[in-house]
Amino acid sequence: MNESKVEIDDIVRKLSASFDYEFNGVSTFYPPEMPSIPDSFGIGLIVGSSGSGKSTLLKQFGVEAEITWNSSKAICSHFASAEEAQARLSAVGLNSIPAWMRPYQVLSTGEKFRADLARRLANGAVVDEFTSVVDRNVAKACSYALRRYCDRQGLSRMVFASCHYDIIEWLQPDWVFDTNTGQLVGRGSKRRPEIKLEIVPCSTEAWTVFRSHHYLNNSINKASRCWLVLWNSTLIGFSSSLAFPNGNIKNAWREHRTVVLPDYQGMGFGVRISDAIAKMFKDQGCRYFSKTSHPRMGCYRESSPLWRPTSKNKKDRKDYDPAKKTKEDAHKMRHAKRVCFSHEFIGKII
């Protein structure tokens, strides 16, 4: 039993009398008892309405880590290494490289939530009010990304508390305890919904919504073919392609710009969009190529049977000669010292 006491002043006396509520200044609360849970688990979730005892139960698993941020440093600089920053920020779906370079105080509410969570990721971590301060689509995306990271890294005994039930099917916790019903259920109590994206043609003018979120360049070629991407009727992404003239290859196209809005990153939308656009060109009898220096996109293609590496894959561009002037100098020299992933789409999406 938990007990709290307050002074009986005129306001308390008047309001309690107005509603016929007998009150002597003492409030008592009986939190639910935590049932026996498995000794070994990756993620556990305590869910229930506000005031139902979630935070009290969460304390049985530990204390939430307090996070502080240096306002003069980028959020990525708060990790032990560049590799750790990339892994952890990506794990919570914060895949916007421009956002990595910003200080914490200028991030959006959703980005701040993800950044805090990235620094809390560890064995035995506890997080109260998990996803409660963000949009529900952001909550789902973050939950999905976090489950994947936990499985890859083998993290254990992480426990979250939330008043939202909509994350259960995306987080896929190993156990869920509902403080409203007192019921404990295991993983798989709710199946993850099938993700369906809608891709519709658009003009290059739509790029203005997405250009600040592209990790390399905010310009777009006016000759490109463009598409908007929607999930559950919500705008989440953009993609474009350009004709790829080559004396040795006929009817070829290349990926130009693909962007997923920050709130929807971490669910694998980027590769799904890229694959879908590539398949569309392949079905029309075209060859389709893509070059990227984004590590997650590149690593996906390295292991995907849908893409084949080209002769330029992960190699320095020896053909980028500073002494040779062409109309594409700005573009070419931007990539001259960057090792990029380069692939051709060859497969079919099943």
Is the confidence at residue 318, as pLDDT, over 60?
Answer: no
* ∠ Cα 181 138 293 (to 5°): 140
pLDDT at 48 (0 to 100): 92
* Confidence class for position 238, pLDDT limits 50, 70, 90: very high
* ∠ Cα 17 21 23 (to 5°): 95
Of 278, 328, 323, 322, give the one whose Cα is nearest residue 301: 278
Of 260, 256, 278, give the one whose Cα is nearest residue 349: 278
Percentage above 70 pLDDT, the chain: 91
* Confidence class for position 275, pLDDT limits 50, 70, 90: very high
Is the confidence at residue 319, as pLDDT, over 90?
Answer: no
Mind listing the pLDDT tens digit for each residue in 173-212? 999 999 989 899 988 767 777 888 999 999 999 999 998 8
* ∠ Cα 61 66 67 (to 5°): 135
pLDDT at 215 (0 to 100): 67
Entry pTM = 0.70
- The answer to whether residues 54 and 161 touch, using CB atoms and an 8 Å cutoff, is yes
Instruction: Return the bridge partners of 291, or none.
Output: 342
Q: What is the mean pLDDT of the chain?
A: 87
Is the confidence at residue 334, as pLDDT, over 60?
Answer: no
Is the confidence at residue 42, as pLDDT, over 80?
Answer: yes
Is the confidence at residue 331, as pLDDT, over 70?
Answer: no
Is the confidence at residue 324, as pLDDT, over 80?
Answer: no
pLDDT at 276 (0 to 100): 96
- Domains, the chain: 1-30 (no CATH), 31-186 (3.40.50.300), 197-345 (3.40.630.30)
Mean pLDDT on 26-40: 85
Instruction: Return the bridge partners of 201, or none.
Output: 227
Is the confidence at residue 73, as pLDDT, over 60?
Answer: yes
pLDDT at 109 (0 to 100): 84
Mind listing the pLDDT tens digit for each residue in 143-169? 988 998 999 899 999 999 999 999 999
pLDDT at 102 (0 to 100): 95
User: How many Cβ atoms sit within 10 Å of the Cβ of residue 2?
Assistant: 10
Mean pLDDT on 330-339: 58
* Confidence class for position 142, pLDDT limits 50, 70, 90: confident
